Amino acid sequence: MASKELIDMMNRAISMEIQVSIQYMWQHVKIYGFDHLAVADELKKVAIQEMVHAESIAERIDYLGGEPTTEPAKITIGDTPEKMISLDKKAEEDTIAFYKTIIAKALEEKDYVTKKLFESILSDEEDHHNVFRTLLEK
């Protein structure tokens, strides 16, 4: 089964997923300005995807005999649409980097299912990053 270190990393991942799910959902409610409806819809869609990620990771931790966390990482909303999306882009960059370390650790431990799970989630996170990057380039 997975090491304590890998389970701890996965719990940190859940904290990050819960954080951005709440962050993006709250931003979806609070965003304003030109084209805000399209951006709000995208934030809501990504928030829901992030919650699905948290659930998938929690199920994997439970299967491995660990206890999934319920604590989010620090939530940062931002006070303008540009600041919100900049914070979100940075959150995705941090997540992408961290998930690559989880994938490497899972491979080291020969935990191929966890590796595959995080590779799938990593693909989604790169898509989210691209959405936020594109919004900021507009």
At 138, the pLDDT band (50, 70, 90 cuts) reads: low
Q: Is residue 68 pLDDT above 70, yes or no?
A: yes
Domains and CATH numbers, the chain: 4-137 (1.20.1260.10)
pLDDT in tens, 101-117: 999 999 999 999 999 99
Contact, 10 vs 89, CB < 8 A? no
pLDDT tens digits for 18-66? 999 999 999 999 998 767 888 999 999 999 999 999 999 999 999 999 9
**pLDDT 10s digits, 80-89:** 999 999 999 9
Q: Average pLDDT, whole number, for the chain?
A: 95
In whole angstroms, what is the distance from residue 104 CA to residue 126 CA?
17
Residue 128 has pLDDT above 70, yes or no: yes
* CA–CA gap between residue 109 and residue 44 (Å, rounded): 35
Higher pLDDT, 93 or 138: 93
Contacts 24+ apart (CB under 8 A), 45-50: 46/20, 46/128, 46/131, 47/20, 47/21, 47/22, 47/23, 48/21, 49/124, 49/128, 50/17, 50/18, 50/20, 50/21, 50/24, 50/128
Answering whether pTM is above 0.85, one says yes
